[in-house]
Amino acid sequence: MAQVMVNFRIDEDVKKNMEQACREMGLSMTAAFTIFATKVGKEKRIPFEITAGQNHSGPHQRQRRYAEIECARGEEPNGLFQTQKQLEHLCSEIRQSLTAIHIAIPSSITGLTMERIRLLCGVELKDKAMGVSAACKSLFSERSGKIWKKKDPSILDHYVDNLSSIAEELLDMEHTLVPAMKSYQGTQSDDFAPYEQRLTAVSRRFDELAPVMQQFLNSTVCGSYVQTVITRIRKAAASVETPYVLTALENLEKLVLRHWDAMEDQTAARLESDYLQTLELTLRELCQAEQEGGEAGGKAALCLRVMNVLSQVISDSGQVRQEWTQRSLEAEVEALERLAAMRGDIAGSVKLEG
Give me the pLDDT at residue 320, please: 45
The C-alpha atoms of residue 281 and residue 49 are separated, in whole angstroms, by 39
pLDDT tens digit string along 139-198? 777 555 555 656 777 788 889 999 999 999 999 999 999 999 988 888 877 889 999 999
* Residues 152 and 212 sit within 8 Å (Cβ to Cβ): no
Q: Is the per-residue pLDDT at 20 higher than 60?
A: yes
Between 130 and 218, the more confident residue is 130
pLDDT score recorded for residue 57: 37
Neighbours of 116 (CB within 10 A): 19
Distance linking the first and last C-alpha atoms of the chain: 64
Q: pLDDT band at 58, cuts 50/70/90?
A: very low
Buried b (16+ CB within 10 A) or exposed e, 12-39: eeeeeebbeebbeeebbbbbeebeeeee
Q: Is 157 exposed, middle or buried (0-12, 13-18, 19+ CB in 10 A)?
A: buried
pLDDT at 270: 74
pTM for the whole structure: 0.46
**Dihedrals φ, ψ of 100, to 5°?**
-60, -40
pLDDT single digits (tens) 204-253 = 999 999 988 888 877 765 445 567 777 888 888 888 889 998 998 888 88
Going 18 to 2 to 152 to 272, the CA torsion angle's sign is: positive
Q: What is the mean pLDDT of residues 101-115?
A: 89
pLDDT at 59 (0 to 100): 33
Residue 202 has pLDDT above 90, yes or no: yes
pLDDT band of 7, cuts 50, 70, 90? low
